[in-house]
Structure 1
């Protein structure tokens, strides 16, 4: 693969390679859930545009949680959404499909971008466009073995699996070579429906520990 200039992976994601994908009825519900996740060691937070009010609350949330937490915007599907997210200070952008225009905008702004794809062609397109890494979605449809196969022809491809990954699956994806893992429902569960935030913190702690162990094990091979 030809090496090109691409926005680098953040220090936060390198240190804690877990992305929490948040979907709620309204972005005003986000703050206590983010706080619970951060207490559990998850410091990369993706706010999805399928939730109302993300743009209005993004600057406030960034100010509240400060530089030790990165807050990105996901489910970005157009140049207009990308421009708004970048203007509001998103730390990274995520797309559900291979939207090359969004990749180009993020690269030009120097902001990490993780476009979604499933096939080798889609994922390679994202990397060639300058993506920081590509989001393998929906990951549960293929499993960690698929990533292992991709690393044959594309050994330098950075991949973040997302979609249907359970906490107990995370280590297998890291062992297969994933840059990080992205979890939504299996991690959040009922957190936006009155569920225990202490239980959410416990799940985040367990996930963070499993991923850290997997990263260390991979490094000793």
Structure 2
């Protein structure tokens, strides 16, 4: 199991969380492996993906040390247990719900979904490793900047509508990392083009590297 310190280090060094949410388990796994081969370290596999547990287990096995595989859309207590048993090393929740509570109790690093200042503070006090600012598109980089004024120590990871241009703006506003789904994955988890996925992965990694250096 990944510990809190190691996960936080991965967020700060990688600065990119790839979100794989597919309709085809084989395509989802292929997408995960393509991302790992391109150098994407933090890869979240949504539990809404058919046979998600098997995808997670296989991804952990086949990606090896090239990636740190997590589970996303952890909503219920059972979701957290399913993800843990499948081998997920960290978890992502859309809100501060039962899944969040159980993941924290299991000792798994959690990227906890929150939108408001109260939710962000509650998440960190309740054991979150970082805050998934979701849906970030509602307020954009300006909203993140406003949140960071009173909450400079909260590690925010904007998720929702983050393309490469938006990622640059979020880094400038103080994001520790960004979570990216369809702007990065495209149709790959549904059986689409892996070559284009690889190209987009390289683009996002370049943006994240530049953000880390800024």
TM-score (norm 2): 0.91
For 1:132-184, what per-residue CA distance to the aligned partner results, in whole angstroms no more than 9, with x for missing partners? 00101111111111111111111101111001111221111112111110010
For 1:34-84, what per-residue CA distance to the aligned partner results, in whole angstroms no more than 9, with x for missing partners? 222223321211111111101133222201111220111111111111112
SS in 1 for 2:4: coil
Q: Summarize the alignment of residues 23-34 of structure 1 with structure 2, pairs less than 5 Å apart.
A: 23-34=21-32
Alpha-carbon RMSD:
1.7
What residue number does 2:155 align with? 158
What residue number does 2:47 align with? 49
Aligned residues: 211
Q: Summarize the alignment of residues 1-221 of structure 1 with structure 2, pairs less than 5 Å apart.
A: 7-10=4-7, 11-99=9-97, 101-217=98-214
Structure 1 residue 95 displacement after superposition: 0.8
Q: In structure 2, list runs of 5 or more residues that go unmatched.
A: none
Deviates more, 1:73-82 or 1:49-58: 49-58
Counterpart-to-counterpart distance in 2, 1:119 and 1:49? 25
Q: Is the 8 A contact 1:22 1:47 kept in 2?
A: yes
Deviates more, 1:201-210 or 1:13-22: 13-22
TM-score (norm 1): 0.89
